[in-house]
Amino acid sequence: MRAGQRSERVEIQRPADGQDDYGQPTVGWVSVRPVWANILHRSGIESIRADAPTSIVQASVRIPLLAAEGVTTAMRVLCADGTAYGIKAILADRVRREYVDLVCETGASDG
């Protein structure tokens, strides 16, 4: 995968549990690594959630194979503009073994 094909700097993040100042559990995100990626939007889906229309955007986030080490579907991709994509599937390039496509969604739960 040539560098010109990666057009956006993103952060791979994992969920991190912790506690606030009062000892109450909190859920947040911790950056695992920054990586250059190519993001292709596949579709926008309108669905009804809790009697309110929700827009769901599906995307393929292509990253280099070495950058994908340790990435799981429990993680998310955070873009520079603040868009968070929840990782739904991880598809490896089985022919050239150069990249990994992360099948992602945003909108329903915002990653």
Domains of the chain, earliest start first: 3-106 (2.40.10.270)
Do 89 and 103 form a contact (C-beta atoms < 8 A)?
yes
Give the pLDDT confidence score for residue 32 in this predicted structure.
94
Alpha-carbon torsion 101, 105, 109, 111, what sign?
positive
Which residue type is seen at 64?
A: P
Question: Could you read off the pLDDT of 64-92 as tens digits, one per residue?
Answer: 999 999 999 999 999 999 999 999 999 99
- Does residue 18 carry a pLDDT above 80? no
Q: What is the pTM of this model?
A: 0.76
